[in-house]
Amino acid sequence: MDTTQHNSNAWDKKVEEGSRYTQAVSSEVIEKSKSGEWAITVTTEKTVPRDWFPKYIKGLKILCLASGGGQQAPVLAAAGADVTVTDISKKQLEQDEKVAKRSGLTIKTVQGNMSDLSDFEDEYFDIVVNPVSNLFVKDVYPVWNEISRVLKNKGILIAGFTNPLLWIFDDNLERKGILDVKHSIPSSTLDYLPENDVQDYINSSQTIEYAHTLEDQIQGQIDAGFVITGFFEDDFGGTRILDKHIKTFIATRATKIKID
């Protein structure tokens, strides 16, 4: 099956349902961003440290990758950056377009797959911002390689991704406060289901997710030509039992180093 198209449809549905990561920022947030008081997230709760960005971002070309929903892109555009946002979900991109129209911002939107950035030229962007999203692709290496290709030398990648430990537990039981180790890494949502339930899950239009190893997440960036220059962990904000034991999200800052 075409999991990219499936997840595109699933995210369109999430927009219709008003889930958290489809809710655009307010006019108040945009006005503060225009005055220099801006911040974004690429994980769940923590904001990205300001010193992960250059002191001035006005005029910098920023790609918000798999980042539709009207959250990161409008803030960075309001702060003065030249922003492009790409996402597999048309309705997620419409959230960015609505904020841009509402608040008088210029944001370019491009529907596409994060593993194939052929719409963009080599070494075009100064910064790529990639919130937690590579769990929706089977192989993260093409993502890191494409990001490296479109970034300028010494360009910055700010990425969020899932700590694979989150995936080893039965998700339904964990939400009930029970930690039951059931799954291995790497794996996917469909691997966790009894064979008779797979088609029902697909028909339910829920996202298909992939649990990647930390080696693929971090060494994958290094192999693509990046040097890791920043790191922090995040969690669900205390709403899940796992928050008591470990952080389940990771953010990295990386710099592209071109070797001739």
Q: Residue 195 falls within a domain, yes or no?
A: no
pLDDT at residue number 42: 98
Q: Residue 191 falls within a domain, yes or no?
A: no
13/23 Cα distance (integer angstroms): 13
pLDDT at residue number 259: 72
pLDDT at residue number 195: 87
Q: Is the pLDDT of residue 60 over 80?
A: yes
Q: Residue 11 falls within a domain, yes or no?
A: yes
Domain count, the chain: 1
Report the CATH number at residue 36: 3.40.50.150
pLDDT at residue number 229: 98
Q: Which domain holds residue 123?
A: 3-163+212-256
pLDDT tens digits, residue range 66-99? 999 999 999 999 999 999 999 999 999 999 999 9
Banded model confidence at residue 260, pLDDT cuts 50, 70, 90? low
Q: Is the pLDDT of residue 126 over 80?
A: yes
The residue type found at 126 is: D
Asked if omega into 186 is within 30° of 0 (cis), the reply is yes
For the chain, give the percent of residues with pLDDT over 70. Answer: 100
Q: Residue 190 falls within a domain, yes or no?
A: no
Q: Residue 179 falls within a domain, yes or no?
A: no
pLDDT at residue number 76: 98
Q: Is the pLDDT of residue 26 over 90?
A: yes
Distances (CA, A) of 195 to 181, 189, 199: 20, 12, 8
pLDDT tens digits, residue range 136-184? 999 999 999 999 999 999 999 999 999 999 999 999 899 999 999 999 9
Question: Comparing C-alpha atoms, which of 88, 75, 70, 208 is closest to residue 143?
Answer: 88
CB 192 within 8 A of CB 86: no
pLDDT at residue number 258: 78
Banded model confidence at residue 55, pLDDT cuts 50, 70, 90? very high
pLDDT tens digits, residue range 191-244? 999 888 999 998 888 999 999 999 999 999 999 999 999 999 999 999 999 999
Q: Residue 12 falls within a domain, yes or no?
A: yes
Strand pairing report for 125-130 and 151-162: parallel
User: Taking the alpha carbons of 22, 27, 31, 37 in that order, is the dihedral positive or negative?
Assistant: negative
Question: Comparing C-alpha atoms, which of 233, 232, 225 is closest to residue 51?
Answer: 232
CB 99 within 8 A of CB 74: yes
Banded model confidence at residue 22, pLDDT cuts 50, 70, 90? very high
| Mean per-residue pLDDT over the chain, rounded | 96
Banded model confidence at residue 50, pLDDT cuts 50, 70, 90? very high
Q: Residue 120 falls within a domain, yes or no?
A: yes
Q: Residue 234 falls within a domain, yes or no?
A: yes
